[in-house]
Structure 1
């Protein structure tokens, strides 16, 4: 399997394909309501699932912007600014749809790249390394999301 294929396979595994080692992000969010996404344990300094998802989106947008050579990505991650407000179900579903859309657009770009292109640098790091790091980042936060769901009793898988 070529490097590009391996990287796309990892990209898929962290988001919507079962790897056998860990649940993908999409499964971690499956069936989650807006109220559950905004839930924060009383008196605990921890992020909500909504904040974690927005944080994941922020870094995916950074990558997509660099891959597309645009400058329209926000420069500051504000996803962890404590926001106690509950969003509507419609807003939550839009957030999830946005996450899927951005992830899919990156996948499309990656799958079209040659192994040599993956070794080119963006912002001082190879595309391959950036994507590999982002896969690990997503897996880490998926674990946090599942932990929060277990705390609130909404993880049934």
Structure 2
């Protein structure tokens, strides 16, 4: 199973497909307004509604980036602000849920249509277009700065083709970036898991 297929499965299971844990849409279906805003008396934890707002903030941010509508990205002073609620009414609770379900599904559609190199390009754009440094981009998407640097260098040298998966696929003398030895199955699993984590974090999961 490639990393994109794995991510799509996990992305769907988070919202509306039953897996080893209940999907979020089913969980939230019968949550009442009172349950959504409840918090422990000491206020040390977030309410269910606040957590949904937090998820919505980051997923909507990345949806806007994929659509090229950065001017419409949600903004927050800090991470704590991403948990902020709208006016606490039953109607707003319902609207928050529906907007989150919509945004999550739209990101899933984009992921389905995207090639792996397209997703890498989004990371590269954070450096080239948004002016972030390697370390800042790495922290934003949850990968090492050396990986960000390598992707940027490959893109600057070869364009989008430089971001294609080329492990063991030399296309002629001196072409491609073949590995010096066959990839060990355990190494491949670790690499796919790492890429999967990167993509999940980049999509705001």
**TM-score, normalised on structure 1?**
0.72
Match of 1:120? 121
- SS at the partner of 1:45? coil
Quote the Cα distance in structure 2 between the aligned partners of 1:54 and 1:102.
12
- Using the TM superposition, give the Cα deviation of residue 75 of structure 1 relative to its aligned residue in structure 2, in angstroms: 2.6
- SS at the partner of 2:39? coil
The match for 2:82 among 55, 79, 84 is: 79
Q: How many equivalent residue pairs?
A: 134
- Using the TM superposition, give the Cα deviation of residue 32 of structure 1 relative to its aligned residue in structure 2, in angstroms: 0.5
Match of 1:141? none
- Using the TM superposition, give the Cα deviation of residue 61 of structure 1 relative to its aligned residue in structure 2, in angstroms: 0.9
Match of 1:148? none
User: Does 2:201 align with 1:133?
Assistant: yes
- Using the TM superposition, give the Cα deviation of residue 70 of structure 1 relative to its aligned residue in structure 2, in angstroms: 1.5
Match of 2:31? 32
Structure 1 alignment gaps of length 5 or more: 139-157
Match of 1:109? 110
- Using the TM superposition, give the Cα deviation of residue 128 of structure 1 relative to its aligned residue in structure 2, in angstroms: 5.8
CA RMSD of aligned residues (A): 2.7
Q: Could you say which structure has the higher helix fraction? A: 2
- Using the TM superposition, give the Cα deviation of residue 3 of structure 1 relative to its aligned residue in structure 2, in angstroms: 3.3
Matched-pair contact (CA < 8 Å) for 1:16–1:27: yes
Quote the Cα distance in structure 1 between the aligned partners of 2:117 and 2:89.
44
Quote the Cα distance in structure 1 between the aligned partners of 2:68 and 2:87.
35
- Using the TM superposition, give the Cα deviation of residue 2 of structure 1 relative to its aligned residue in structure 2, in angstroms: 4.0
Structure with more relative contact order (C-alpha pairs < 8 Å, separation 6 or more): 1
Distance change >3 Å, CA 130–CA 3, structure 1 → 2:
closer
**TM-score, normalised on structure 2?**
0.56
